[in-house]
Amino acid sequence: MEKGKGLARRWAVELHDASSSSASPAVPDPPGFTRSAPDADDAAGARQRKDSETAWKAQKAWEVAQAPFKNLMMMGFMMWMAGSTVHLFSIGITFSALWQPISALRSVGKVFEPFKDPRVDTIAPKLLFIALNLAAMGLGVWKLNTLGLLPTNPSDWVSSLAPAREVEYAGGGIPLI
């Protein structure tokens, strides 16, 4: 016997029937499906989808713009926990508080790239993002000042000047003078 001829396989199904060349509806449509031409409902649905996508992009842009506020609160708490003495942990936290806003400000365009759409206004979210990152950078500069690492006295710049006088003195219960 020649291979492929003679015995018909029980599991083989011929999907193409040559007798019915036209697309006759031998199989009924499933419930809820109607064969109709696209009409105004499809155009309205597409417009509604575009409007909802625009609203979603605007909402997400505002969420991304407000994200530095969470980082600002976390960084402020970490700086408070680090204390005001100069040691490795406080310097690391301060460096992180300065570096994160700088790197975020350098990548403002990349952060808001997914929301680039003529119908979505990203100017206000970008301005908020920049303002919050500048506030975070100001928090880092304030921490540098509290650690005494900023040159704020004239004696820090000119070596021939004497350091600033101490204003407060601490002593025990017995007067020293």
The pLDDT tens digits for 85-119 are 889 999 999 999 999 999 999 999 999 998 888 88
Range of the domain at 131: 65-151
Instruction: Decide if 21 is inside a domain.
Output: no
Total tally of structural domains belonging to the chain: 1
Q: What pTM, to 2 d.p., does this model score? A: 0.64
Q: At CB < 8 A and 24+ separation, what contacts does 107-115 make?
A: 111/64, 112/61, 112/64, 114/57, 114/60, 115/57, 115/58, 115/60, 115/61, 115/64
Instruction: Decide if 55 is inside a domain.
Output: no
Instruction: Decide if 42 is inside a domain.
Output: no
Instruction: Decide if 105 is inside a domain.
Output: yes
List, for residues 138-177, the tens digit of each pLDDT value: 999 999 999 988 888 777 788 788 777 777 777 667 766 6
Instruction: Decide if 139 is inside a domain.
Output: yes
Instruction: Decide if 20 is inside a domain.
Output: no
Instruction: Decide if 30 is inside a domain.
Output: no
CB 140 within 8 A of CB 97: yes
Instruction: Decide if 146 is inside a domain.
Output: yes
